[in-house]
Amino acid sequence: MILKKVLLLRVFAIAGTLFLFSNCAGKVKSWKIIDRHSLDVKILETNEWMNKRNDESLHLNKIIRKELKYFIDNDMRIYNRINPHYEVFKKSIYEVDSLLKVLQVIVSKQPLTSSELLNISDEKKSDIKNIIKVKSLEISRAKNKYNKSLKNINKGLKKDNKKLIFIEDEVSSYKVTLFKIRYKRSQLNQEFERFNKKANMAFFYNSDSFYSKQIRKTSKELEQLNKNLDDFEYFLSDIIEIARKEVGSSAYIFNKNDKNKKYKIKYKNGLKQYLINLEEMMRHLNSA
């Protein structure tokens, strides 16, 4: 009986520790400020976050309101799921904007020095450090509410087989692809140098020989292949603007029955062709 009680206590102790750990892991924290520069950086980052949200909100408000109107007429259960989170979404952006303005005023009026901002967690905090800590914590919480509200809006949309997609998030992997294929292409640089040397030698000794004509033909084919590779890389470089232009917004609602966007099809087909072109280039370079 005593052994059972001990084991039960251990189970509760472990569960309590795990609960505490999970709470700490997801805890929203205030900014870590060590000097004036680190504070300026945090304010700049938050200002950029706000600029991005302002750019998106005009489109998002239209998109979400349209969906809410649809659900009012067709499914009030989904409307009731989405609308409260949409209100949180709007409020959280307003909160970050208001808090940011307060901090910007404080920083502009207060000649903060590195020594004033050191040891922000010290018990003997100055009023200015307290305000920064409190306001920055509120900003972090508001951002957290913003992210959660979008997740919950998408959970509601999922009930109708829909999803809210942000262009920038959707094509982020395309940017990674661009770096990867450029690296793969750069591995042919030595082969191109070797080919150019052979071509120069052939044209120097006898520009009318059969070999020179073959080199000239290969050179033109390589030039076209290079242009094709450049075109796809340019496409990936401008993918965000291209996608936004097609969609007409920085975000859109995707329905599982919708056809793929043109830029997604172009990406898929273009990447496949890009890799084929690389292989073709290697074949030409090796045969020269």
Q: How many domains does the chain have?
A: 2
User: In terms of domains, do 65 and 98 share one?
Assistant: yes
Residue at which a domain ends, from 160, 184, 212: 160
Whether residues 102 and 146 share a domain: the answer is yes
Indicate whether 155 and 178 sit together in one domain. Answer: no
CB 89 within 8 A of CB 67: no
Domain of 209 in residue numbering reads as 170-287
pLDDT in single tens digits along all 288 residues of the chain: 433 333 333 433 434 443 333 444 457 888 887 777 888 899 999 999 999 999 888 889 999 999 999 999 999 999 999 999 999 999 999 999 999 999 888 777 655 555 555 444 455 456 777 888 899 999 999 999 999 999 999 999 999 999 999 999 999 999 999 999 999 999 998 888 887 787 777 665 666 676 667 777 888 898 999 999 999 999 999 999 999 999 999 999 999 888 889 999 999 999 999 999 999 999 888 876
Domain match, 79 and 125 both: yes
Please answer whether residues 104 and 168 qualify as being in contact, where contact means their C-beta atoms are separated by less than 8 angstroms.
no
In-domain check, residue 21? no
CA distance 247 to 170: 12
**Domain identity same for 143 and 184:** no
For the chain, where are the E strands, in sequence order?
162-166, 251-255
- For residues 67 and 156, membership in a common domain is answered with yes
Query: Final residue of a domain: which of 133, 160, 187?
Result: 160
Domain membership of residue 101 (yes or no) is: yes
As a whole number of Å, the CA-based R_g of the chain is: 29
Q: Is 39 domain-assigned?
A: yes
Q: Is residue 237 part of a domain?
A: yes
Final residue of a structural domain among 118, 136, 160: 160
Q: Report the distance separating Cα 7 and Cα 13, nearest Å.
A: 10
- Regarding whether 143 and 115 lie in a shared domain, the answer is yes
Geometric angle at alpha carbon 110, from 105 and 112, rounded to 5°: 125
| 14 inside domain | no
C-alpha span between 47 and 285 (Å, rounded): 50
